[in-house]
Amino acid sequence: MDAAIQISGLSFRYQAQEPVLDQLDLTIEAGERFGLFGPNGAGKTTLMGLMTGLLPYKTGSVKLLGYELRGRDRKINSLFGLVPQDFSFYPELSTEENLQFFGAWAGLNKKEIKEKTNELLSVLSLEKVRTKAVGKFSGGMKRRVNLAIAVMHEPRVLFLDEPTVGVDVQTRHAIIHYLKQLNQHGTTLIYTSHQLHEAEDLCTRVAMIDEGKIIINDTLTNLLHQHKQDGLEGLFLELTGRAYRS
């Protein structure tokens, strides 16, 4: 079975800047709940952009479920979903209208869109607001809509960039619970966040990136045991230091 993500020798720099990623190697197995962490400016967002094909690369290789992303066929896009940190939907449209539109763009037909919309509205408790304009929702409801759109087409790999930022405890629990359910059904989760307690609950394997390099990559249990830490926050500070970052 192909790895969800297979990165080898990947280097990347923005125009006329120092390299953000330098000869990076990383493998994320299918079915994992993988957490990617690092201080601000470490290269997390850039790496997410490269893994989702949003950024082009010249050096190295990035494969998603065995498909090379450089010069990729757009059909590969149906294999993954992205939950961006920013709300990426149309605030003028209702929940249902947003799901219908993004469902069509994900390649679903009318019947599939209808079924999946009903399912997601129910699972993410959005039924009462299915016809309301999303722009007027609370932060928690917007986060759920953001997530629902990303999973409309049942992607095999789901990238999550700060999926619970700014939400209350109840919504966070509900989202994490739903993500675990998805994973049980075979969806690989690739998660990045500054919410380290949440990561301890969700992730089975963790990597830390700093100055463009992966500095650790192991299961959460092994890492805490090896570094004699009782939580990710202590491990994070031990490995990346206490100085301010960009």
The reply on whether position 57 binds another protein by CB under 8 A is no
Q: Are strands 19-28 and 5-13 parallel, antiparallel or unpaired?
A: antiparallel
Residue with Cβ nearer another protein (75 or 228): 75
Using alpha carbons, select from 233, 140, 238 the residue that is nearest to residue 194. Answer: 233
Among 6, 45, 46, 77, binds another protein (CB under 8 A): 77
Residue with Cβ nearer another protein (42 or 82): 82
Among 92, 115, 233, 238, binds another protein (CB under 8 A): 92
Residues 6+ apart with CB under 8 A from 221: none
- As measured in angstroms, the least distance from the Cβ of 5 to another protein is 15
- Distance CA(91)–CA(191), nearest Å, equals 25
Phi, psi of 38 (to 5 degrees): 170, 160
Interface map 154-183 toward another protein (x if CB under 8 A): ------------------------------
The reply on whether position 87 binds another protein by CB under 8 A is yes
C-beta separation of 151 from 121 below 8 A: no
- As measured in angstroms, the least distance from the Cβ of 31 to another protein is 21
- As measured in angstroms, the least distance from the Cβ of 180 to another protein is 23
Using alpha carbons, select from 169, 211, 236 the residue that is nearest to residue 20. Answer: 211
Residue with Cβ nearer another protein (167 or 196): 167
Using a 10 angstrom Cβ sphere, with 0-12 exposed, 13-18 middle and 19 or more buried, the burial of residue 104 is middle
Q: Quickly list H helices, the chain.
A: 44-51, 95-105, 110-123, 139-151, 169-184, 196-202, 220-226, 232-240
Site for another protein in 185-224 (CB under 8 A): none
- As measured in angstroms, the least distance from the Cβ of 23 to another protein is 24
The reply on whether position 88 binds another protein by CB under 8 A is yes
The reply on whether position 84 binds another protein by CB under 8 A is yes
Residue with Cβ nearer another protein (18 or 86): 86
The reply on whether position 133 binds another protein by CB under 8 A is yes
Using a 10 angstrom Cβ sphere, with 0-12 exposed, 13-18 middle and 19 or more buried, the burial of residue 46 is buried
Number of residues that bind another protein (CB under 8 A): 34
Site for another protein, rule CB under 8 A:
52-54, 56, 74-78, 80-82, 84, 86-93, 97, 100-102, 104-107, 109-110, 133, 149-150
